[in-house]
Amino acid sequence: MTLPARPELAGAAPYGAPQLAVPVRLNVNENPYAPPAAVIAAIASRVKAAAAQANRYPDRDFTELRHALRDYLAEESQATYLSADQIWAANGSNEVMLHVLQAFGGPGRTVTSFSPTYSMYPEYARDTFTTWLPGEREPDFSIDLERAIGHIDQTNPSVVLLASPNNPTGTAVPPATIEALAKHTAGRAILVVDEAYAEFRRPGTPSALALVPNYNHLAVVRTMSKAFAFAGVRLGYLAGSAELVGYLRTVRLPYHLSAITQAAALAALEHRQALMAQVAQLCVTRDYLAAKLRERDLEVPDSDANFVLFGRFADRHAVWQGLLDRGVLIREVGPDGWLRVSAGTEEETDLFLDALADVLDAPGRVG
Ligand X SMILES: *Cc1c(COP(=O)(O)O)cnc(C)c1O
CA distance 346 to 288: 10
Q: Is 96 or 353 the residue whose CB approaches ligand X more closely?
A: 96
Q: Which of 93, 164, 171, 349 binds ligand X (CB under 6 A)?
A: 93
Mutual angle of helices 316-325 and 346-361, in 10-degree steps = 120
Give the burial string for 198-222 (b: 16+ CB within 10 Å, else e).
bbbbeeebebbbbbbeebebbbbbb
Question: Does residue 261 belong to the site contacting ligand X (CB under 6 A)?
Answer: no
Question: Does residue 236 belong to the site contacting ligand X (CB under 6 A)?
Answer: yes
Question: Does residue 163 belong to the site contacting ligand X (CB under 6 A)?
Answer: yes
Question: Does residue 110 belong to the site contacting ligand X (CB under 6 A)?
Answer: no
Question: Does residue 141 belong to the site contacting ligand X (CB under 6 A)?
Answer: no
Question: Does residue 172 belong to the site contacting ligand X (CB under 6 A)?
Answer: no
Amino acid at 65: L
CA distance 75 to 105: 32
Q: Which of 194, 199, 304, 348 binds ligand X (CB under 6 A)?
A: 194
CA distance 275 to 279: 7
Closest separation between CB of residue 56 and ligand X, Å?
A: 27
Question: Does residue 334 belong to the site contacting ligand X (CB under 6 A)?
Answer: no
Q: Which of 32, 58, 92, 135 binds ligand X (CB under 6 A)?
A: 92
Closest separation between CB of residue 34 and ligand X, Å?
A: 17
The DSSP call for residue 253 is: P
Question: Does residue 130 belong to the site contacting ligand X (CB under 6 A)?
Answer: no
Question: Does residue 171 belong to the site contacting ligand X (CB under 6 A)?
Answer: no
Cα–Cα nearest to 171, from 200, 211, 192, 147 = 200
- For residue 357, the surrounding DSSP H or E stretch is helix 346-361
Closest separation between CB of residue 230 and ligand X, Å?
A: 9
Question: Does residue 199 belong to the site contacting ligand X (CB under 6 A)?
Answer: no
Where does 6-92 have alpha helices with state H?
37-51, 63-77
Q: Which of 62, 118, 320, 352 binds ligand X (CB under 6 A)?
A: 118
CA distance 354 to 70: 42
Which range in 39-47, 224-232, 257-265, 273-281 contacts ligand X by CB under 6 A? 224-232
Question: Does residue 167 belong to the site contacting ligand X (CB under 6 A)?
Answer: yes
Q: Is 29 or 241 the residue whose CB approaches ligand X more closely?
A: 29
Q: Is 208 or 359 the residue whose CB approaches ligand X more closely?
A: 208
Question: Does residue 225 belong to the site contacting ligand X (CB under 6 A)?
Answer: yes
Which residues face 277 on adjacent strands? Answer: none
Binding string to ligand X for residues 14 to 33, with x set by CB under 6 A, is what?
---------------x----
C-alpha angle 150-156-162 in degrees, rounded to nearest 5: 75
Closest separation between CB of residue 94 and ligand X, Å?
A: 4
Mapped onto helix, strand or coil, the DSSP state of residue 350 is helix
- For residue 243, the surrounding DSSP H or E stretch is helix 242-251
The DSSP call for residue 191 is: E
Closest separation between CB of residue 30 and ligand X, Å?
A: 9
349: left (phi over 0), alpha (psi -120 to 50) or beta: alpha
Q: Which of 130, 185, 223, 262 binds ligand X (CB under 6 A)?
A: 223
Q: Which of 111, 196, 300, 319 binds ligand X (CB under 6 A)?
A: 196
Question: Does residue 264 belong to the site contacting ligand X (CB under 6 A)?
Answer: no
The Cβ of residue 307 has, within 10 Å, a number of other Cβ atoms equal to 29
The Cβ of residue 253 has, within 10 Å, a number of other Cβ atoms equal to 10
CA distance 258 to 264: 10
Total residues contacting ligand X by CB under 6 A comes to 14
Which residue in the shown chain puts its C-beta closest to ligand X? 92
- Where on the chain is the footprint of ligand X (CB under 6 A)? 29, 92-94, 118, 163, 167, 194, 196, 223, 225-226, 231, 236
